[in-house]
Amino acid sequence: MLLPGLNGMRILEKMKEEGLLPAIPVLIISNSGQPVELERALELGARDYLIKVNFNPQEVLSRAMGLLGTSPPSNAGTRGSHAGTKVLIVEDDVLLADLLEQKFIGAGYEVYRALGAEHARQALVKTDFAAILLDVIFPGTDGLAFLAELKRDEKTARTPILIISNLGQREEIDKGLRLGATDYVVKSNTSPAEIVERVTLLIQRQN
């Protein structure tokens, strides 16, 4: 995003103006993890982003090939029985989303990320997911309203949905489960590795 002369954001704007986005897949690689900046880039048509300090070259290869609709080589991080299994993480906390993504990729999953409901809708139009991880507080449509929307949609009505939230009151948990969440975890009480285990179990039960 930080380039001499024309910066990355301006390049995205020009590509958008010229009708090149979203037809050409753009993967952002940046030191900045500011939600506002990432939100703007995704609005312009960028497909995905990586924070430089949190990835390795193999992950870049895997994510780029995912955007191109091809499968990574057998040594490109798709280990174990979860290879090719797609999960969607709807979370605007970039640090937590990065940690979760690393854990899921380490388990062999193919990970897609969305900062909020609108970006999640765009991903869901193009891709079928084995499970969705959903925060309940983010900009725009709140997570519980989006959960209700997902359960009404024939395409996602049976998809396991795990709520990941800082809200741990019993009434909040009960509300999420009533609206159709398959499971509910409180972020402060659950490690990323445990979340991967919970999602794996949900997918196995669904199958």
Query: Whole-angstrom Cα distance, residue 34 to residue 32?
Result: 6
Instruction: State how many domains the chain has.
Output: 1
54 part of a folded domain: no
pTM of the model: 0.64
Q: What is the CATH number of the domain that holds 84?
A: 3.40.50.2300
73 part of a folded domain: no
27 part of a folded domain: no
Structural domain boundaries, residue 141? 80-206
Query: Whole-angstrom Cα distance, residue 181 to residue 132?
Result: 10
67 part of a folded domain: no
pLDDT-derived band at 174 (thresholds 50, 70, 90) equals: very high
Query: Whole-angstrom Cα distance, residue 164 to residue 72?
Result: 29
Tell me the pLDDT tens digit for each residue of 72-115.
Answer: 544 343 344 677 799 999 998 888 888 898 889 888 899 999 98
The DSSP symbol for 81 reads G
121 part of a folded domain: yes
Higher pLDDT, 28 or 156: 156
Q: What is the mean pLDDT of residues 11-19?
A: 91
115 part of a folded domain: yes
34 part of a folded domain: no
21 part of a folded domain: no
